[in-house]
């Protein structure tokens, strides 16, 4: 069974009430349930963790090696500042999809740079809740590519 780790960074526990014109009205739990259902349709297992603390997210990435096949991450504002999270993700062998509900490139200039972009398989941004759906669709292909090349999905 393919195991996916969904990581949610700082302030994402405030979704639904935090700036709904930018992030929408769905709660984090709404998003997690949606991703879990989509992953389940693939026969996959999804584990979710949200933390407002960078170190907790880094430790989760460390612990994911050899346990999870892929990671979906919405690191929130850590996307633009966390070289430590970048380094942790760089040491994960499976596919990683970075997700954003809003379009960071269309917002404040400090949001235009992702420290994670160099070490993720791809970034999906600006499609609201659909961003998470597209991450699962991307992983279907990315995990499938690994299994067709004979590489273990969680190698």
* CATH number reported for the structural domain that contains residue 111 in this entry: 3.40.50.9100
Structural domain contains residue 78:
yes
Structural domain contains residue 155:
no
The model's pTM is 0.87
Q: What is the distance between the alpha carbons of residues 148 and 144, in angstroms, rounded to a whole number?
A: 6
User: Which one from 48, 62, 86, 100 is the annotated catalytic residue?
Assistant: 100
Beta strands across the sheet bearing 3-8: 45-50, 3-8, 70-74, 96-100, 122-125
Structural domain contains residue 47:
yes
Q: What is the distance between the alpha carbons of residues 17 and 96, in angstroms, rounded to a whole number?
A: 28
Query: In sequence order, what are the residues at sequence separation of 6 or more whose Cβ sits closer than 8 angstroms to the Cβ of residue 16?
Result: 24, 25, 26, 27, 28, 30
The pLDDT of residue 9 is 96
Average of per-residue pLDDT values in the chain: 88
Structural domain contains residue 136:
yes
pLDDT exceeds 90 at position 95: yes
Structural domain contains residue 98:
yes
For the record, the structure tokens of 76 come out as 């929130």
pLDDT exceeds 70 at position 112: no
The residue range of the domain holding 117 is 3-148
Is 132 known to be catalytic? no
Tell me the mean pLDDT in the region 31-57. 97
Q: pLDDT-derived band of residue 94, with 50, 70 and 90 as boundaries?
A: very high
Structural domain contains residue 128:
yes
Q: What is the distance between the alpha carbons of residues 146 and 140, in angstroms, rounded to a whole number?
A: 10
User: Which one from 23, 31, 86, 132 is the annotated catalytic residue?
Assistant: 23
Structural domain contains residue 72:
yes
Torsion of CA 68, 82, 78, 86, to 10 degrees: -30
- Provide the domain count of the chain: 1
Structural domain contains residue 153:
no
pLDDT exceeds 80 at position 19: no
Is 23 known to be catalytic? yes
Does an H or E element contain 88, and which?
helix 83-90
Tell me the mean pLDDT in the region 3-22. 89
């Amino acid at each position: 069974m393919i195991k996916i780790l969904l990581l949610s960074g700082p302030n994402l526990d405030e979704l639904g009430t935090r700036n709904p014109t930018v992030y929408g009205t769905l709660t984090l739990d709404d998003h997690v349930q949606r991703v879990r259902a989509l992953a389940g349709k693939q026969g996959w297992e999804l584990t979710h963790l949200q933390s407002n603390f960078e170190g907790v997210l880094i430790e989760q990435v460390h612990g994911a090696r050899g346990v999870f096949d892929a990671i979906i991450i919405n690191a929130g504002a850590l996307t633009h500042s966390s070289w430590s999270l970048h380094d942790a993700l760089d040491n994960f062998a499976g596919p990683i999809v970075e997700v954003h509900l809003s379009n960071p490139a269309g917002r404040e200039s400090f949001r235009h740079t992702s420290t994670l972009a160099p070490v993720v398989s791809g970034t999906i941004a600006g499609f609201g809740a659909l961003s998470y759906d597209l991450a699962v669709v991307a992983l279907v292909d990315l995990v499938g590519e690994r299994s067709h090349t004979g590489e273990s999905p969680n190698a």
